[in-house]
Structure 1
């Protein structure tokens, strides 16, 4: 199917005439369906959010007017339309206008309802991501084996660059409670390479890497550097198949919530917690001893309220 054919098929699917008999979609459902299943950048999500908030007006704006209202360039609007499967902004606007007219005509789906549905749809998408993780974790032997490998790697390097820094730091913070030597790499380039060389020289066998969209080029460089030093790579990433996966020895995938301006990471966080559990179970005596030592230190120094 050509791009223009795909765009026409999408437009038919989201207009009232494309709904199944007895299952006519509200304007809010139609608009959200337009964005569903597409990986949008934060800038593109700003455009989508403007359309959500100003549908009845925005659907009739020229590309110049829409770009000015959102505060982006005209090429950005064009790229946004193409990312949704349309040939350009005119084709997107043609699909939007019937939805806007149905909203004006009083079909259920006010702007407030649209916003409410949008936020609920984001939660629903995350629930689906967690359901997929639940199926992934059904193979407990696989997860436990990865946990054992990470537990036995001393030091254990945890890598996360750009948007993935927060996931790497969460994992490393918790892992330090049960593992004697956890090293975090949150900067790319020669800094990452130096840290990986030192970890390997100190006896480390594994690096656990987080790579969430949008995938950073320096993450790929770091994974290749890790393999060149002799480290094995366990990768937690989204289901997108790409060059990062080719550089990993073990891959665990989890979808990211992409309905809002910025992604949410409930599913990758769940995989991280499962791996931490597997590491703890792999070395129960060491885990217990370290946890007790930490609690004693926390009490002694008053770490917590």
Structure 2
């Protein structure tokens, strides 16, 4: 973890005139973000970080009590936030923020004419970057097609997502059930997950598709290991290219998550999920067509949807 001096040097390094290129035009908000160093912050810590960005000229001179009250968190939360960035405490973080705030107040070249930052648009921009990265990955679709074939052959097919990853697992399972005869969803960890995985393997299943979005739960790692111990292979969709979850998986796909807002957004993992569903559909086109036609017949018979 970087020292206070290293963190301050990081901020100073992007002060105009210190580096060439984009760093020379970095806004005060971007210079504050540099202090965060790309760390994965908790939702509560993101609230503090966003307040510092949005109210820099004021926040850089607040006491820890004042900052905690303004953000709506406890003083220990502010201290832990500063420590997570590598500072000895909040005073050291404030010391790093103040020169940036003063440059903004003085109307330095990097802040003149700067538009009020729109965190919602910035969140969209970050997701666009995630999708662009995914597009480059999908330029070679062979791995997606291979996994799609394996998942299509696994009967039953288990889809697993715990905690925040439940929504992605449910989305994938909803689509997979339209084209696959037996899809089982695991959304609870512990012994419940272990039982479900064992039953899936005993019923003839060979693969699990697991979602692991941040913050990565220990119970997800335990469930992945349980799946491997039961004799199942694991395809993993996550936001990281390295780590213990990736090490345990038989095949892993990386899709970045949006982290500019209090809670993550999942544009790229959603598109990646749809791509794998497409690969599953293409792996057995006859079964896919039959099942889709039956579903449409049922939808019409039982009047599932609104007619516009």
TM-score, structure 2 as length reference: 0.91
- CA gap of 1:240–1:147, structure 2 versus 1, over 3 A, is closer
Mapped to 2, the partners of 1:7 and 1:236 lie a distance apart of 32
Mapped to 1, the partners of 2:241 and 2:92 lie a distance apart of 27
- CA gap of 1:85–1:123, structure 2 versus 1, over 3 A, is farther
User: 1:13-54: CA deviations, max 9, x gaps?
Assistant: 344464648934333333344446221110100101222332
2:46·2:261 contact (CA, 8 Å) conserved in 1?
yes
Q: What residue in structure 2 maps to residue 130 of structure 1?
A: 131
- CA gap of 1:225–1:21, structure 2 versus 1, over 3 A, is closer
- 3-state SS of paired residue (1:158): strand
Q: What residue in structure 2 maps to residue 115 of structure 1?
A: 117
- CA gap of 1:168–1:42, structure 2 versus 1, over 3 A, is same
2:2·2:86 contact (CA, 8 Å) conserved in 1?
no
2:8·2:35 contact (CA, 8 Å) conserved in 1?
no
Mapped to 1, the partners of 2:21 and 2:280 lie a distance apart of 53
Q: What residue in structure 2 maps to residue 260 of structure 1?
A: 261
Q: What residue in structure 1 maps to residue 91 of structure 2?
A: 90
1:15·1:95 contact (CA, 8 Å) conserved in 2?
no
Give the drift of 1:126: 1.4
2:238·2:252 contact (CA, 8 Å) conserved in 1?
yes
Q: What residue in structure 1 maps to residue 227 of structure 2?
A: 226
| Aligned: 1:37 with 2:38 | yes
1:238·1:256 contact (CA, 8 Å) conserved in 2?
yes
Q: What residue in structure 2 maps to residue 104 of structure 1?
A: 105
Q: What residue in structure 1 maps to residue 3 of structure 2?
A: 3
TM-score, structure 1 as length reference: 0.92
| Aligned: 1:245 with 2:246 | yes
User: 1:69-117: CA deviations, max 9, x gaps?
Assistant: 223233321222233343432222122112222333345759x93431x
Residue segments in structure 1 that go unaligned for 5+ positions in a row: none
- 3-state SS of paired residue (2:178): coil
- CA gap of 1:6–1:36, structure 2 versus 1, over 3 A, is closer
Give the drift of 1:179: 0.3
Mapped to 2, the partners of 1:147 and 1:283 lie a distance apart of 10
User: 1:174-205: CA deviations, max 9, x gaps?
Assistant: 00000000000101111111111111111100
Mapped to 2, the partners of 1:17 and 1:88 lie a distance apart of 29
